[in-house]
Amino acid sequence: MIRLEGALYPWRVRLVLLLLAGMVGAIGWRIVSLQVVDQHFLQSQGDARSVRHIPIPAHRGLITDRNGEPLAVSTPVTTLWANPKELQAAKARWPELAKALGQAPDELATRLQRQADREFMYLVRGLTPEQGERVLELKMPGVYALEEFRRFYPAGEVAAHVVGFTDIDDRGREGMELAYDEWLAGVPGKRQVLKDRRGRLIKDVQVVKNAKAGKPLALSIDLRLQYLAHRELRNALAEFGAKAGSLVMVDVKTGEVLAMVNHPTYNPNNRRNLQPAAMRNRAMIDVFEPGSTMKPFSMSAALASGRWKPEDKVDVHPGWLRIGRYTIRDVSRAEGGVLDLTGILLKSSNVGMSKIAFDIGGESIYSIMQRVGLGQDTGLGFPGERVGNLPNHREWRKAETATLSYGYGLSVTAIQLAHAYSVLANDGRSVPMSLVRMDRKPESTAVMSEPVAKTLQGMLQQVVEAPGGVYRAQVPGYHVAGKSGTARKAAVGSKGYTEHAYRSLFAGFAPTSDPRIATVVVIDEPSKGGYYGGLVSAPVFGRVMAGALRLLNIAPDNLPPPAETQTVSVPAASKGGRS
């Protein structure tokens, strides 16, 4: 007789039934929990598979010059992207898509095949909205659009080194775009949308977070002066066959940089064939020995010492001076071999300056150069700016003292040199420099005696206006002060100087009666027509300063006296008329 196995072990059947009942109860409770008690879990899981948050691009802040002229603006562009997985089903239409995108069909096909297992790839970025719409009208499966912004620079190459540029993701990469990236960059917003499993938009639900535009930035640059300086510097480089050049113009009273140009330059709107050397803001990055443009500061140390007065004489005969194994030479010879202090600046006598330096010591010259900002950080915060080098020796030997007095043995930038001359022009008071427009006049600090500064202003005016002076720097209708310089270029990778390689410099300010503008011109390696600063850089200074003074409506201080008018008496006509 056959019996069921379970009948022999009834407790096993009960155990299995109990387990099955427990499992059914647990599943039932889980269903109730998900649908009633914890319904938000399923809802969130459903949303995660259909609700999406897409970014709303933020408008980058506008950059303008000091008068509100736009230097960098953001324009809306369309970026097209694709889901390569979806596009695999439409291979026959790939040539049509490539033609609409302006791309080679083979290259596009290769890209799509290489990323066939992915769900995102850029097709093209930075199209105009019209161009993007023409591609979307093809109704190509797997092709979608994003709204972005692209930076445009109306001044182009004229202000490129100051303004800089952004990358394709609208992040600052050079110049003020990089220095003030956090200020200019906006905060993206967020939009909630519904999409199906293929990523297609079903419904635009709501804006979760509004995009916050970046803050505007007004630079200290005056675009009118920037164009003027750009043109004159470019013409000078072409005329003298120079390798490069820089020009910096500073407001003496406020420390604002009114113009800063460099050549070679580049167009930030089209950087396809950009040469890295053209991107350098040479006025703030290139360091050089300033040559004779340093003599006014050495002279100020002599006047401040109380040991020297402008009318004191120095014997510079025979035009050279031997110090150990070094020989100091003058380019121009003084008649009679005796010069007063103004004459030393006028003739740019290295021998005369050296003899004065020996008397007052190198430490005093170093001190005044440091106080006017040479070899120091300008505080502009410009990316990549260099501070140069102002040596301070424990023991000032004659050779070191002499070379420092006439501008060798130290290295500066064009912006530092402009700042130093602005201190001279501002009666010995230093104001912080700024590349951003100042709404009020900053506090100034006295770093040089006012009587000494005013005396030097008069001496430097004679350097330009006296017979035999740097007449090419003169400006009709205005008194101008300044000093030219010609410095040999140091050899790269070895000691000494490169043969027949010079920098031509001119630094000055105007009008001398009440200085308002300080300007520095640096021209690198002129190769034809001469290389002296008074010949190459001084004319650029004169033309730029003349235009700037007129554009800024600064009153002339050197007009000829009005001609005396003679009163001519005209006999009265007879009442009877003609006879």
Residues labelled as active-site residues: 292
Both tokens of residue 307? 């040991």
In contact, 361 and 341? CB cutoff 8 Å: no
In which residue are the tokens 């949303």 written? Answer: 47
Q: With b meaning 16 or more CB within 10 Å and e meaning fewer, what string describes 281-300?
A: bbbbbbbbbbbbbbbbbbbb
- Cα-Cα-Cα-Cα dihedral sign, residues 425, 431, 435, 441: negative
Q: Tell me the pairing of strands 70-82 and 143-152.
A: antiparallel
DSSP structural state of residue 206: E
Secondary structure (3-state) at 82:
strand
Both tokens of residue 486? 């010609």
Neighbours of 442 (CB within 10 A): 14
Neighbours of 52 (CB within 10 A): 16
Q: What is the DSSP string of 392-404?
A: --SS--HHHHHHH
Identify the burial level of 421 via C-beta atoms within 10 angstroms of its C-beta, where 0-12 means exposed, 13-18 middle and 19 or more buried: buried
In contact, 268 and 156? CB cutoff 8 Å: yes
Neighbours of 164 (CB within 10 A): 26
Residue 225, CA distances (Å) to 429, 510, 549 in order: 25, 15, 10
Both tokens of residue 28? 């039932």
Length of the chain: 579
Cα angle value 328/330/335 (rounded, 5°): 135
Secondary structure (3-state) at 380:
coil
The residue type of 540 is V
In contact, 487 and 408? CB cutoff 8 Å: yes
Quick one: the chain helix, strand, coil %, rounded to 5?
40, 25, 40
Q: Tell me the pairing of strands 445-446 and 429-430.
A: antiparallel
Identify the burial level of 229 via C-beta atoms within 10 angstroms of its C-beta, where 0-12 means exposed, 13-18 middle and 19 or more buried: buried
**CA atoms of 229 and 160, how far apart (whole Å):** 13
DSSP H/E element including 71:
strand 70-82
DSSP structural state of residue 342: H
**CA atoms of 412 and 389, how far apart (whole Å):** 7
Calculate the CA dihedral of residues 93, 99, 100, 101 and round it to 10 degrees: 110
* Strand intervals (E) in 87-220: 121-127, 143-152, 189-195, 201-209, 217-218
Q: With b meaning 16 or more CB within 10 Å and e meaning fewer, what string describes 547-558?
A: bbbeeeeeeeeb
In which residue are the tokens 């009834």 written? Answer: 10
